[in-house]
């Protein structure tokens, strides 16, 4: 079985269960083009062939044509801001978002590097924290950790902290959720919106995924992942009063120990003294030593 995905220049997508079915659909496109004097550009069209697993069928022999021209077969291709691949996984899409984040963080720190850290932090959240499409990611995908690592590196550069600063200090210092929790929050909000959708089909399919599909469904897997991470009851997602932000923030605050809070407060004072030493009797080297001790020990 094959699933052909054909993306045209005007974002038209054709889906077919087999190569023969795809050719029939392309013939219909040719008939439409001849009747209404429309021309489809094969050079701007791509085809992705998804094969059953495991399978080693050669895709080069599959000839798809439109307007008399052959359509290129590719392993992955961007469509509406997402990377669609023939492996049906999120790896390429997640890494594409991570690479985009690297460029955005570098631009912010390059153009605004001389501004105070608090200002750079706001700019970073404003221009670098777009996780478009993360609601569709599989939360158990290991590539999400690459996104989190990149974000934490950016925070360390914003504050001028050592590269090996402990991860648990950064969310408390910035007074925000860790990136993985931000992604989980958006996923839960998306699932909650789907199960309570006004569309009967969307609501039914989402409820079926949670109650019956479970690990067989992307929605079900993500719901179970959040259930284990935050201890929430999956059935609570069906309630209109469900608030994922409150649940995730509650868990985040619960994990902040008094010792960690004190360390962060001292670190904030040292970061202020680093910029303005008028109220501090410590030397520059002593301030840096204290910051390094707090961040790494």
Give the per-residue pLDDT at 4. 43
- Judged against a pLDDT cut of 90, whether residue 191 lies above it is answered with yes
Tokens 């599909």: give the residue: 213
User: Per the omega criterion (within 30 degrees of 0), is the bond before 278 cis?
Assistant: no
Tokens 């290129």: give the residue: 72
> Considering only CA atoms, which of 192, 185, 177 is closest in space to residue 226?
185
- Judged against a pLDDT cut of 70, whether residue 6 lies above it is answered with no
- Judged against a pLDDT cut of 80, whether residue 5 lies above it is answered with no
Q: What is the pLDDT of residues 245-280, one digit of tens each?
A: 899 998 888 888 999 999 999 999 888 888 877 777
Q: What is the pLDDT of residues 147-187, one digit of tens each?
A: 999 999 999 999 999 999 999 999 999 999 999 999 999 99
pTM for this structure? Answer: 0.85
Chain CA centroid to CA 288, Å = 35
Lowest mean pLDDT among 78-82, 198-202, 220-224: 78-82
- Judged against a pLDDT cut of 50, whether residue 7 lies above it is answered with no
Lowest mean pLDDT among 17-31, 59-73, 199-213: 59-73
Residues 238-247 have a mean pLDDT of: 90
Neighbour tally for 53: CB within 10 Å: 7
Give the per-residue pLDDT at 201. 94
């Amino acid at each position: 079985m094959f699933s052909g995905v054909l993306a045209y220049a005007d974002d038209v997508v054709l889906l077919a269960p087999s190569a023969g079915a795809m050719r029939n659909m392309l013939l219909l496109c040719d008939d439409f083009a001849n009747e209404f004097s429309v021309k489809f550009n094969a050079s701007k069209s791509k085809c992705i062939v998804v094969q059953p697993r495991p399978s080693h069928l050669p895709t080069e022999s599959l000839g798809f044509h439109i307007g008399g021209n052959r359509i290129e077969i590719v392993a992955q291709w961007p469509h509406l801001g997402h990377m669609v691949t023939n492996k049906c996984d999120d790896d390429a899409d997640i890494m594409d978002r991570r690479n985009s984040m690297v460029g955005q963080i570098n631009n912010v720190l390059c153009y605004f590097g001389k501004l105070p850290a608090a200002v750079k932090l706001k700019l970073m959240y404003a221009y670098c924290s777009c996780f478009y499409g993360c609601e569709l990611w599989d939360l158990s995908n290991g590539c999400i950790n690459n996104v989190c690592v990149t974000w934490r590196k950016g925070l360390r550069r914003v504050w001028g902290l050592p590269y090996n600063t402990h991860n648990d200090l950064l969310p408390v210092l910035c007074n925000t959720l860790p990136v993985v929790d931000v992604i989980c929050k958006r996923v839960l909000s998306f699932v909650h919106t789907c199960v309570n959708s006004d569309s009967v089909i969307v609501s039914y399919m989402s409820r079926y995924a949670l109650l019956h599909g479970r690990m067989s469904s992307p929605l079900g897997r993500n719901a179970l992942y959040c259930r284990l991470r935050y201890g929430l009851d999956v059935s609570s997602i069906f309630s209109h009063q469900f608030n994922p932000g409150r649940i995730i923030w509650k868990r985040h605050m619960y994990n902040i120990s008094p010792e960690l809070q004190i360390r962060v407060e001292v670190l904030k004072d040292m970061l202020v003294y680093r910029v303005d030493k008028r109220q501090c009797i410590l030397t520059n080297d002593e301030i840096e030593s204290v910051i390094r001790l707090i961040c790494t020990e």
